[in-house]
A and B are shown apart, each in its own frame.
Chain A
Amino acid sequence: MSYRLGVDVGGTFTDVLLVDEETGSTWRAKTASTPSDQSVGVLHGIDKVCAEAGIDRSAVAHVLHGTTVATNAILEGKGATVGLVTTEGFRQVLQIARSFVPGGLAGWIIWPKPEPLADLEDTVEVPERIGSDGTVITPLDEEKARQALRKLHGVEALAISLINAFANDKHERRLLELAREELPGVEVSLSSVVLPEMREYERALTTVANGYVQPQVARYVANLSAKLKAEGVPAGLSILRSDGGLASADAAIAAPVTMLLSGPAGGVTGAVWVAEQSGHTELLTFDMGGTSTDVALVQGGQARIGRETKVGDLTVRASAVDVRTVGAGGGSIAHVPELTRALRVGPQSAGAEPGPAAYGKGGTAPTVTDANVVLGYLPSALAGGEITLDRDAARAAVQTIADAMGLESAEKAAAGIIDIVNENMLGGLRLVSVQQGFDPRDFALVAFGGAGPLHANALGRLTGAWPVIVPPSPGVLCALGDATTSARDESARTVLRKLGDLSDTELATIFEELATAASDRLKAQGITPEHIAYSADIRFVGQGNELPVTFELSEGLTGLATRFDTEHERLFSFTLNVDHELVNARATVTGPRPRVAPIHLEKGDPDPQPARTGETPIYVDGHYVDAALYDRLKLKAGNVITGPAIVTEMDSTTLILPGHAATTDDGGSLLIRPTSKEA
């Protein structure tokens, strides 16, 4: 008997899910997270879940882990001191940062420019030059290079990013050798390895970001692996990549920049798995937390993969589940500027400290959570009783908005706050759907995160995406995502050839070489490659931006061009009669998908009465109505809950609006749909 174990480390809880690989049976455990050393909480959780399942730790064959260590290093600015080596004349590449100033006209007045990830004091240049076609224009001056490297004594990581290194990595490779001699013990990231693609700023930044998070990721992963071994868990450790694939511990340490969105990717992957059990593969995912909301689009059971990873102010070029973040969450603060008397919600957030007024931790600003409390949508304590709600404080906070806007009641103001925040999140959902040419009505909406299920029904109404699927327990969802994903690796390179100048054979060769490289790396980890996906970044000759297009090698050049034209037409409503250019080629190789049997909830009849715990007044559409309260843990498959109703569980609360009903399915998800056309 062997077992897989998915681990999700959140800010408050560490969730562990144990899966019997043969029967598909699952066990869950929840323990307190240990932020100073996350591995302590992870091991504690593993002990707990093994005890519950009555198995020995040695039976765990795979540990699969989504981690936020890299993300937090960026968000908290606590990464390594990185030295950067550039081509002579380009030392200020990160300082100039493509000259871009965010915001509108006059935005420069109020923009605080973030400091570069590698300080200019720690940036050196070396005499060398490669041409854009890869020819060596000026050979590397090794003596000067050594002198430059010696100036970097004391850096914790080194990034080397030379001009046109995407076309020829010779000088970067030689510098790597020199760096090993001059700066022994310092991990080195090469731009030609991390991101062999054109555009020097993006490549340098991504390489530096890799170095910036590397020491912490390496320490954490190595530490966790060692502890697992020491504690008698023989399992290999794998880390979830931002693109939703798995990487071995070693691969994660080598390319941590591909792990920056490991956490959100786990959520989306878990959502896909859960929704598939409910029979849905076309999805919008909606993960609403305390300060922000992540949304993504899933087609045919595959999350759309974007070529950029955004964390805080930082945008790097690394494949990631195309998650868009909206600065709207439960902690978002509502305010009314004196001048315009408009109602604004966010982007400022009360965060966890002091948090919403309702948390009674000293917060007084009116937040989205406070509005939910005023409207009666949050009837009980949160987080299993850890946070009790101060209703009076919430009402007092929201009343300030009512006063500022001249509204007659706190309820009216609270409803306004909820409408505005829902609208902000609708903006995010539109970004991944309508604005990419997809009609949200063709998708189901999967809502999770602490606050997602509260707003899910309303967003279903705004988008027309039905059913709204609320999976059981958000933490378990991410752990499920970790446990149900496949190993994956990817090779990419910049090609820059017109399709008209290529033959089908040449095209196949380019992609087959990439596939071989990625497959070899998987095989080295003992994984059999099972599926190869080819994608190309294509544009019309002369365009500045490419579109990623997935295709089959058998389709050849014509098929590739047609797929691009279709995508261009869908996105922009026209195509051009000029040649296409292949900018980047990419092969993604995936190992076998783990077999995890679906969860089966005990069958019940449509009447949810046994799970009913009472009723509570809630304010909807301008007046109070009584909503039934249900305990999610007591629901059985087949139960149908008619709105208005509220379903509570330890770490989330689901609101079902009047005119809607939720069916509990076999896997424990709630599927909300309108009961009549007018709803």
Chain B
Amino acid sequence: MARIVEPNTTPLEPVDVDPVTLDLVENGLRNARYEMDEVLFRTALSPGIREQHDEFPLIADPSGKMVVGQFGLSIPDFLAGFEGDIGEGDVLLTSDPYSCGAAISHANDWLVVLPIFTEGRVVGWASMFGHMSDVGGKTPSSMPTDAKTIYEEGVVIPPFKLYAGGKLNEDALRIILNQVRVPDWNRADLNGLVAACRTAAKRVTEMCARFGVDTYLSALDALLQRNYDAMKTLLHVVFAEGRTLSFTDYICDDGVGYGPYELKLSLTRTGDRVHLDFTGSSPQAIGPVNYYLNENLARMFFGIYMITVADPQILWNDGFYPLVDVTIPDGSYWKPKHPAALNARNHGIGRVFDLFGGLLGQTNPALLNAAGFSSSPHFMYSGNYSGGDRKGEWFQLYSIGFGGIPGRPLGDGPDGHSLWPSFVNIPCEFLESYYPLRIEKWETVADTGGAGLHRGGNGVDVAYRFLEPGTIAIHDDRWLMYPWGVNGGTPGARGRKWIDRASGEREVLPSKCHDVPVHPGDVLHFVTWGGGGWGDPLERDPELVAKEVRRGLVTAEGALRYGVRVTEKGEVQEQETTALRDQQRSRRDGALPVFDMGPGIEEILARCEEETGLPAPIRPVWR
């Protein structure tokens, strides 16, 4: 347990904060948090943060409760795992999920935490973590898909003082940077993380000066209370007393041949409180897909769905946490035992969105979306230039793929977009200018979005032609289990990966692989999955279906799923369409299902090899 050293021990008086000042503090915190993002984006060198904004800021109150941020990480758990004094000018760094109660969830994430001091006392914490594109280990980008322990996943930094009293621990940094492939990246990104946290600290200090420390801190309490009160009301409105809701989704495989992993989540409200229960989920994975989930993060995810819809302008904070109890079984997918491998947990993080969507949507149609592009699949390519001016020089690409946003109550899911906030793709021209590859195609794949009144977004096919020998790695999922549709919408298409070798051979790749050799002239197709459809496809305006055929987003054959027949030119054939729709309706028995998850799991496994070209995984069992 960390001991906080505060020279000023005069107790602070809680004061009444008028509602307008409260809103002013809220606004100031929101500005500070966006400024943190800006500082890091603009200065980072590694592609993960620089181009794709894989980073998460947070400002907390003196006890470590988040008062603004967009993705929790738990400062109390971090402090509990740190042995020693913390004082003014200290900056802490860690990348070890097991030493901070999963405040971060894999070793690629470097977490910076610093105390914010004003007048000799801690008035809060600034913290930020970012995904380092490489942290050493046995494969470039440090995410071996066959890892079975965290020791295979590069340098794992225990919590320590990167700066003690404002002085950089250069020896420690040198030891760390000696482990990684492109130390300039890590150094710049780490500088950016620290600069962003210091910016936040400056803004908080300014607010303390403007409003007074007691007013500022009392305002934080009031903001936390505001969340608490809002959530208490919401829980009563949304959930019936004593009724248990459950939902299950899947991770298709773990990279070493086991799967699908069941992710089960149940919710029950009793009185003012709800209980989130992950019991019934699969055991921890043998491969690296485990998502070590912090309880506070589970609360956070839950709250995002609840409050975003009620008052989207509200500032996100931890205030409602006491209303939510969380059970995560030890040794499960969500709480693996040390030293289980963790690197490929991004599928699990993404799936949490679908899981909460499917769970909470059962009570509230406003929240019910189909399954979306709940991941941030990775593509890596690295090697040494074999000739030319750059002969021998190391290149290393890390990039994220995008897919279909699901059909939503609001409308269609965008094609080839990101479910994650602020992620963007790396432009083709940028990639071609800095890496030995050429992109031959970058488009969404017609019909991969699930059919529905609101169509699911299409997945994307990016075709990379390699110009230098090297190796590639892929981290993706949803190649086996379908992105489900809702309210009559059908599932989206699953993702696929293959290489057309220069020799003319086609080689199907698993969704998780690394160190796959590639040669000049080989072309990789990285095809992501589509979003599920929302609502009855037979209700969709036939003119819109036809327009999408003309736009190339749906094929003439795909239009049949909407009961729409089109001419060669993509015009609606009205009579044929009416007849087809009548016929399709007459074949239905009963009401449309709320969830359409595709065929059952047994059937999917039985047809796996035939449909995907890949062997069926072995189902995991608790031991």
A residues near B (Cβ < 8 Å) are 88-93, 95-101, 103-113, 119-121, 129, 131-132, 137, 163-164, 166, 198-202, 337, 339-344, 405, 407, 415-416, 419-420, 423-424, 427, 430, 435, 496, 540, 542-545, 547, 568, 571-574, 576, 578
Contact = CB atoms under 8 A, between A and B. Distances in A.
A137 B20 contact: no
Contacts of A430: 31
B332 interface: no
A205 to B, nearest CB: 12
Contacts of A202: 427
A405 B419 contact: no
B41 A540 contact: no
B416 A96 contact: yes
B256 interface: no
B305 interface: yes
Contacts of B372: 108
Interface residues of B, number: 88
A113 B455 CA distance: 13
B184 A542 contact: yes
Given A339-B311, A340-B230, A572-B192, A545 B427 contact: no
A427 B27 contact: yes
A95 B47 CA distance: 23
Interface of B: 19-20, 22-24, 26-27, 31, 35, 38-39, 41-47, 50-51, 70-71, 184-185, 187-188, 191-192, 195, 198-199, 226, 229-230, 233-234, 304-305, 308-314, 316, 353, 367, 369, 372, 402, 405, 408, 410-412, 414-425, 427-430, 432-433, 438-444, 460, 463, 547, 550-553
A121 B460 CA distance: 19
A576 B188 contact: yes
A33 to B, nearest CB: 35
Contacts of B185: 542
B444 A164 contact: no
Contact of A99 (B22, B234, B425, B553): B425
Nearest to A119: B551
A111 B421 CA distance: 11
Contact of B20 (A92, A101, A420): A420
B20 A163 contact: no
Given A96-B442, A120-B553, A576-B187, A200 B425 contact: no
B184 A578 contact: yes
A137 B234 contact: no
Contacts of A415: 20
B567 to A, nearest CB: 15
Given A544-B41, A573-B195, 6 more contacts: A96-B425, A99-B425, A108-B419, A110-B309, A339-B311, A435-B38
Contacts of B70: 104-105
A110 B442 contact: no
A405 B226 CA distance: 13
A99 B413 CA distance: 12
Contacts of B402: 96, 99
Contacts of B195: 572-574
B427 A344 contact: no
A90 B309 CA distance: 36
A120 B20 contact: no
A435 B35 contact: yes
B42 A132 contact: no
Contact of A544 (B39, B44, B411): B44
Contact of B429 (A95, A198, A420): A198
Q: List the 5 closest pairs (A to B, CB-CB), nearest first.
A: A544-B50, A89-B441, A120-B551, A99-B402, A132-B432
Contacts of A344: 23, 313
B22 A342 contact: yes
B308 A101 contact: no
Residue from A97, A106, A405 with most neighbouring chain B CB atoms (10 Å):
A106
Given A99-B402, A108-B417, A198-B433, A89 B443 contact: yes
17 contacts: A88-B441, A95-B415, A96-B425, A104-B316, A108-B372, A111-B414, A120-B553, A163-B428, A163-B429, A198-B430, A339-B310, A341-B226, A423-B27, A543-B45, A545-B41, A572-B43, A572-B192
Given A89-B439, A106-B304, A339-B310, A571 B42 contact: yes
Nearest to B310: A339
Contact of B71 (A103, A105, A132, A137): A105
Contact of B44 (A163, A339, A427, A543): A543
Nearest to A99: B402
Contacts of A337: 310-311, 313-314
Contact of A572 (B42, B304, B432, B439): B42
Contact of A101 (B39, B44, B234, B414): B414
Contacts of A103: 421
Given A121-B550, A573-B195, A424 B427 contact: no
A89 B440 contact: yes
A371 to B, nearest CB: 12
A99 B423 contact: yes
A200 B311 contact: no
A423 B427 contact: no
A399 B443 CA distance: 54
A319 B410 CA distance: 35
Contacts of B23: 342-344, 420, 423
A104 B24 contact: no
Residue from B226, B304, B369, B415 with most neighbouring chain A CB atoms (10 Å):
B415
Contacts of A339: 230, 233-234, 310-311, 314
Contacts of B26: 342
B416 A92 contact: yes
A137 B45 CA distance: 30
A101 B405 contact: yes
Contacts of B310: 337, 339
Contacts of A423: 23-24, 27
